A and B are shown apart, each in its own frame.
Chain A
Amino acid sequence: QVQLVQSGAEVKKPGASVKVSCKVSGYTLTELSMHWVRQAPGKGLEWMGGFDPEDGETIYAQKFQGRVTMTEDTSTDTAYMELSSLRSEDTAVYYCATGTRKYSSSWYYWGQGTLVTVSS
C-alpha cells in the first residue's frame, strides 16, 4: 500500500518559485513512476510531467517546459516539483500521483494535494 504525503500550502509572489514535496511510504521511489498534476480553482486536471520508465527520464508537458523541474531523492523516497517564474494563473492545487507499478499508465495513488497561491 503506497501513501503519498505532500508538503503544506504555499503563498508566493509573482515571479517567485515554489517547491512542493511528495513523501512516499509503503514502496520505494525507484519502484514507482511519479507524476505531477495540477488543478486550478474550479477547473479540470492538467498533467505537468513525470517519470517515463520507457525512456528512463522525466518528461514535461510542453506548456511547462523550461519552468518546471521534477526531481527525486531516493535516499528519503521524496519527490519534488519546482515551478519557477510564478504567475497568478499558477494558483492551483498540485498533486503527485503514481500507479501500482513502475510501468503503470494510470494512477491509483494520489497525494492529498498542495494549494499554491500566487498573489502580490
Chain B
Amino acid sequence: EIVLTQSPGTLSLSPGERATLSCRASQSVSSSYLAWYQQKPGQAPRLLIYGASSRATGIPDRFSGSGSGTDFTLTISRLEPEDFAVYYCQQYGSSPRVTFGQGTRLEIK
C-alpha cells in the first residue's frame, strides 16, 4: 500500500515569502499520477498541479511542482494572502488506487 507523507504538518510564513511543501511516498509513484490540491475552509479542494509538474487551468505561475520517484515538492514562489490554506498531495496508481497525503497547513506568520 502506498502511503504519502507530507511535511511539514504546518508551515508558518509571511506574504511574499517562498513556500516549499514536501510529499514523500512509501513506494515509487509515477510522476504522471502525482497531483497537488489546495483547500480553503468550507470549500471543495482545488486542483493545482497534475502529472507532478503541470499547472491546472487557471493556476497562477507562482505555483510549481517538481519531483519524481518517491519525493515530490510543491513550491509557491511568492506567497499571496489567498494562498494560505491546506495543501494535499494525491497519487493515482497502485493499490489502493488513490491515496492522499495527510495535508500541510500553510498559515500566516
Q: B84 interface residue, CB < 8 Å from A?
A: no
Number of interface residues of B (CB under 8 A): 25
Contact among B44, B96, B101 with A111 in the assembled complex (CB-CB below 8 Å): B44
- With A61-B96, A62-B96 as known contacts, state yes or no: A105 contacts B35, CB within 8 Å: yes
Whole-angstrom distance from the CB of B30 to the nearest CB of chain A? 9
Number of interface residues of A (CB under 8 A): 22
Q: B98 interface residue, CB < 8 Å from A?
A: yes
21 sampled A-B residue pairs with Cβ under 8 A: A35-B98, A37-B45, A37-B100, A44-B88, A44-B100, A45-B39, A47-B96, A47-B98, A50-B97, A50-B98, A59-B97, A61-B98, A104-B50, A105-B35, A105-B93, A106-B51, A106-B56, A106-B90, A106-B92, A107-B35, A110-B45
Where the two chains meet, the residues of B that have a C-beta atom closer than 8 Å to any C-beta of A are 32-33, 35, 37, 39, 44-47, 50-51, 56-57, 88, 90, 92-93, 96-103
